[in-house]
Amino acid sequence: SLHRIGVAAWAWNDVHDGLASAALLGEGDAALGISHTGQTRETVEMLAEAGSRGATTVALTGFPRSPLAELADVVLLTASQPTTFRPDALSARHPQLVVLDLLYIAVAQRTHDRAHAAFRRTAQAVGGHKASTGAST
């Protein structure tokens, strides 16, 4: 979503790509590590690398005393309740997605003019690729 409003942002699932990207960050950049438990070693390593390069580090986790939260400059906490049919890891995803969407909205609001222009351009660029529903308008 951030790319759609002109903000350079990357998401890495591969630890090598994440560490390489984190090593290129510096002051003025931000790195966000997402781990419900805050104990995922690869996520902690990537955030630590970004922080060692001067980037502002943000942890999105459900555990404020976790390794991820302890090393982050900013900690965003989520709460979730596991159920019989939705284990802890899955129940944690929805609150995390809400927080990520709220972060996107906050950035878009703070950069409104630039974000609006970029969103309009990106929407126009992909507009021709939307499937036709066959319904008349």
pTM summary value: 0.84
Q: What is the pLDDT along the chain (137 residues), one digit of tens a residue?
A: 999 999 999 999 899 999 999 999 999 999 999 999 999 999 999 999 999 999 999 999 999 999 999 999 999 999 887 666 666 667 788 899 999 999 999 999 999 999 999 999 999 998 888 776 666 55
Question: What was the pLDDT predicted at 38?
Answer: 95
Question: What was the pLDDT predicted at 85?
Answer: 65
Q: Is 23 left (phi over 0), alpha (psi -120 to 50) or beta?
A: alpha
Give the type of residue at 17.
Answer: D
Q: Which long-range contacts (CB under 8 A, 24 or more apart) does 5-10 make?
A: 5/104, 5/107, 5/108, 5/111, 5/114, 5/115, 5/116, 5/118, 5/119, 5/122, 6/111, 6/114, 6/115, 6/117, 6/118, 7/107, 7/111, 7/115
